A and B are shown apart, each in its own frame.
Chain A
Amino acid sequence: MGEAIVITSGKGGVGKTTTSANIGTALALMEKKVCLIDTDIGLRNLDVIMGLENRIIYDIVDVIQERCKLKQALIKDKRFDYLSLLPAAQTSDKSAVTTDGMKQIISELKQEYDYIIIDCPAGIEQGFQNAVAGADKAIVVTTPEKSSVRDADRIIGLLEKEDMESPRLIINRIRNHMMKNGDMLEIDEIIQVLSIDLIGIVIDDDEVIKASNKGEPVALQPNSKASIAYRNIARRILGETVPLQSLEDEKGVLYKVKKFFGMRA
């Protein structure tokens, strides 16, 4: 029986889709069976970042409206046998997807896959409700900006009403020099306000954008910092204890954060 994890944020453009693609890829690298679901109806992206755009025939709305079987709509990844994508619809009416439809799809996928990673649209409307409906766990993505943290807080409040465990946090697009000058919120400060467990931090890395443009998620690269960060997150999802990678070759910013991991059982 697999586990469904929704990647959400509230605010748009903070890296939900990038995170979904890379966590999925990293879990596949570790020989897990993974299915990615894009629930951003009308603004689908996940297929592009995964480099699978050209292979789409059916989408999630076709499945819900029974124009095809779930299996027919799943696109197999180029690189991994057990990595699949259920793409969002690009044109259909958003109201086609329902929470019941989502729950059904996810429970079917759980029979076959170890992890179902659900890419959530921005906002707190129906699209969000659909994305979280069938999820067992949630990962909240934020950037070190006030407005992004505020929206993450709002989302965490909404997730607490759902029947799932406390969400975990990814802080994305950290820029070390800004952090040092005090131009960005400190990691400690963000964790203190949101008071949920941190599952990883990812630096702002041009490689991420380059990789996404090529349709080759950055997690496939052996050595880039962002790649290591995503693979570490995947290991933590599997339950391993992995220390936070330092952003630079000195302690500094992350020194204090380590104790948050120490506190986790």
Chain B
Amino acid sequence: MSNRVINLLVPVISIILGLIVGAIVMIFSGYDPVTAYIALWNGIFGDAYAIGETIRQISPYILAGLAVAFAFRAGLFNIGVEGQLIVGWFAAAYVGSAFDLPKIIHLPFALIAAALAGALWGLVPGILKAALRVHEVIVTIMMNYIALHVVNALIKTVSGSYKTEKIHETASLRSEFLSNITDYSTLHYGILVALAMVGVMWFLLDKTKTGYELKSVGFNEHASQYAGMNVNRNIVLSMVISGAFAGLAGSMEALGTFGYLANLGGFTGIGFDGIAVALLGANTPLGVIFGASLFGSLKYGAGNMPNEAGVPTEIVSIIIALIIFFVASGYIIRVILNRVNKKKGAK
């Protein structure tokens, strides 16, 4: 087996293992795994509508995953993607509803506002880390709570109700075309924004001088300092860019899926799932697409399991978690495959 085959085989085997263990859980709790999995499949790929909704769900996951992965490549653990996403969501919703501008200006303006808001939320932990060596994990976690409550308060102040006003058509990512070909799903142009950002991250890391520096600092701070790089500037910069990706993830919800932001009772979870997405994708831009696709499809498709197969949502959550668990432990499968490979080679 060549390395390439192994690279392909690992996620496939992982998913199959996850499905098998999930099936065992269902059998023990008295549900039929076959109908359940058919329901999951239908929920993801069943018809054009399901496919549209699945892709729509994938977009924010891609951006959240990019945010985590980007910081990670620069040696930082950004747990604050959730908060950066929330402020991005609010910023986009506000700009989308408060201004009257032609689409060609309004939509980019709203997107940029979301990215800037996220970047600002990333800037704070970045500066604290660079200037005072406060660990970014602690600060970003706290920034999540601040984001949640500040945004909830802002919604009330700005709109006087529990949700922001609906964004204007000129700021919307909605697409009649995409909606039509997917049987009137809520699929919107956000996926293009997300894919464009995958390209941006790849370009930044692999082509630019800044990317070279960011990776260098991420791998070895001491050697980077010795090489004359400004380690602190790079720390701040990577948190800002990471936050911008996260803010854009929020704009997917504001300008595409919902069109507004309602008072949040708790975290959306997308930002935290972004950590898993990035790790599944080995923190590479292309890998993030894979991780986000897995997360997005399972998240959306699972919604069909209670309806079609009568599996309660609690069990569904367990099964989804199991599949992701096995994919994440793909390392073990890789080791086993290598072993099998060696034995064969030795004979």
* A, B assembled together: no
| Interface set of A (CB-CB < 8 Å, partner B) | none
